[in-house]
Amino acid sequence: MADEANSGESSAPVRYDLVVIGGGPAGYGAALYAGAAGMKVALVERDRLGGTCLHRGCIPAKELLETAAVWRTVGQAAEFGVNTEPPELDFSVSQGRKQRIVDGLEAGVSGLLRRRKVTVYEGTGRLGADRSVLVRNGESETQTLHGDHVLLAAGSVPITLPGFDRDGTLVMTSDEVLALDEIPSRVAVIGGGAIGCEFASMLADLGAEVTVLEYAPQIIPGVDGDISKALNRAFAKRGIAVRTGCQVTGHSPVDGGGTTVRYTTVASARSDAEMAELEVDAVVVSVGRRPYPDHLGLDDTGVTLDERGFVVADEMCRTTMAGVYAVGDLINTPQLAHVGFAEAIVAVKDILGEDPAPVDYPNVPWAIYCHPEVAFTGLSEAAAREAGYDVVSSKHRYSGNSRAMIVNDTEGLVKIVAERDADGTAGRVLGVHMMGPWVTEQLGQGYLAVNWEATVSEVAALVQPHPTLSELFGETMMALTGRGLHG
């Protein structure tokens, strides 16, 4: 992978305008953006270019979810008059396709870096004094780099739970799920966030009996409560059991295979807890990710970590060490690849003295690729009220949308939250929350409306093409003006 070989220990450091440690989306995004600005850039990566997102996260997960989507489509083909034999799943073919996509994208990133004249070093980067970076590849080969600026983008790793030591077969994290050879028959997914719901959906579609155990009162924290409830109902129709307000306490392997998961359920009106058990063939622990500064050597630098292990950084992604920046999962911001890209651009622009606008974290777009899909940006109705807004909202369901009927996927709704003006009419758009067919591809106009602080009347005046799924966004917005067409 390295464009410049490491041959023994180097006494004179190689100097760069920017040295990036970490080759995931935030890291390679910073390197590409800096390279496009004419900076001399080095990128240090200890594993593979693309990071978790490309190899053990976003991309492989979505490929397997697409396999599940194809399975569902074939299963309902007869409703369109297309008669087929009962489908059979060869999961190894899907895994092979996933790997080809991942490898192709990695090659694409590598090619982009070469064209931007970014020097890639294969090895573990360790931050030293005066923005030096020691790159170690193997036991003895080292190379010292020096950056006028250094950007840390070492990413994150899955969080594990006490009593659930992962073995890759009985207890898995996202890393192992994405490498499965076959689908377990019964699965407990611990965690009902974005990743947990995606895995639950994929595994259920491909034949597993799935139970989601979530500690919080609702699945998909951050999304509007109406969307979360609708997803609960949609999951239930597909046989996915969702149990919220649960705290897992451990598990006991069963002779002959499988394990019994123990958890407590706490009623909202009582302080007592009820113990329950669930027998499954595999457990997927999906309770989030922690920052991974472990190999950066930050103890001997001026870079500060908070109590949870995140690198402390300001709105320009500057750390507490002069000239050193941190982006992506390493800092305490939404752990999303597109947020990492955005932070990389902010950091490089700040280095260039271009006075960038900081990332507006409360309004970043979220996309969850379970079935039905979930997408949202901005405040939920409850969060808007808690923030002191006088709120008005509107929601419409896909069941009456012509395009949804055509594609035979009518489960879901669009909900728009707006501020009520003094005259009682709907004013600024505060949040857009969606569940249904391809909402991850539809959220763009909602994100623009929220982030440009558009008013309901301004957005409602825009023409939506017909027949499309996106018409429902326009219809919901128009309803807030008091003059909707279809509802």
Predicted confidence at residue 138, as pLDDT, reads: 75
Residue 451 pLDDT greater than 90, yes or no: yes
Q: Are 385 and 391 in contact (CB under 8 A)?
A: yes
Predicted confidence at residue 267, as pLDDT, reads: 62
Predicted confidence at residue 10, as pLDDT, reads: 52
Pairing of strands 373-378, 289-291: unpaired
Alpha-carbon distance of 178 to 60, in angstroms, equals: 7
Mean pLDDT of 159-170: 91
Q: Are 164 and 171 in contact (CB under 8 A)?
A: yes
Predicted confidence at residue 254, as pLDDT, reads: 93
Predicted confidence at residue 142, as pLDDT, reads: 87
Whole-number CA gyration radius for the chain:
24
Q: Which CATH fold topology does 372-479 show?
A: Enolase-like; domain 1 (3.30.390)
Q: pLDDT digits over 331-358, tens only? A: 999 999 999 999 999 999 999 999 999 9
Predicted confidence at residue 116, as pLDDT, reads: 96
Alpha-carbon distance of 168 to 182, in angstroms, equals: 13
Please tell me if the domain spanning 14-64+91-158+290-361 has the same topology as the one spanning 171-287.
Answer: yes
Give the pair of three-digit tokens for residue 282. Answer: 């595999």
Residue 45 pLDDT greater than 90, yes or no: yes
Three-state SS at 435: strand
Alpha-carbon distance of 465 to 487, in angstroms, equals: 18
Give the pair of three-digit tokens for residue 97. Answer: 């396709």
Look up the CATH number of domain 14-64+91-158+290-361.
3.50.50.60
Give the pair of three-digit tokens for residue 368. Answer: 């969850």
Q: pLDDT digits over 219-246, tens only? A: 999 999 999 999 999 999 999 999 999 9
Predicted confidence at residue 11, as pLDDT, reads: 59
- Domain regions of the chain by residue span: 14-64+91-158+290-361, 171-287, 372-479
Three-state SS at 86: coil
Predicted confidence at residue 469, as pLDDT, reads: 96
Predicted confidence at residue 342, as pLDDT, reads: 98
Alpha-carbon distance of 116 to 94, in angstroms, equals: 33
Q: Assign 3-class secondary structure to 109-148.
A: HHHHHHHCCCEEEECEEEECHHHEEEEEECCCEEEEEEEE
Question: What sign does the CA torsion over 197, 202, 203, 204 have?
Answer: positive
Mean pLDDT of 455-472: 96
Predicted confidence at residue 275, as pLDDT, reads: 87
User: pLDDT-based confidence at 274, cuts 50/70/90?
Assistant: confident
User: pLDDT-based confidence at 86, cuts 50/70/90?
Assistant: confident
Alpha-carbon distance of 149 to 318, in angstroms, equals: 10
Predicted confidence at residue 1, as pLDDT, reads: 46
Lowest mean pLDDT among 45-49, 113-117, 137-141: 137-141
Alpha-carbon distance of 13 to 16, in angstroms, equals: 9
User: pLDDT-based confidence at 12, cuts 50/70/90?
Assistant: confident
Catalogue the active-site residues: 466
DSSP 25-69: HHHHHHHHHHHHTT--EEEEESS-TTHHHHHHSHHHHHHHHHHHH
* Mean pLDDT value across the chain: 93
The CATH class that applies to domain 171-287 reads alpha beta
Question: Crossing angle, helix 194-205 and helix 225-237, to 10 degrees?
Answer: 20
Q: pLDDT digits over 345-400, tens only? A: 999 999 999 999 999 999 999 999 999 999 999 999 999 999 999 999 999 999 99
User: pLDDT-based confidence at 137, cuts 50/70/90?
Assistant: confident
Give the pair of three-digit tokens for residue 144. Answer: 């010292």
Q: pLDDT digits over 176-223, tens only? A: 999 998 999 999 999 999 999 999 999 999 999 999 999 999 999 999
The predicted model scores a pTM of: 0.93
Provide the phi-psi class of 295: left if phi over 0, else alpha when psi is between -120 and 50, else beta.
alpha
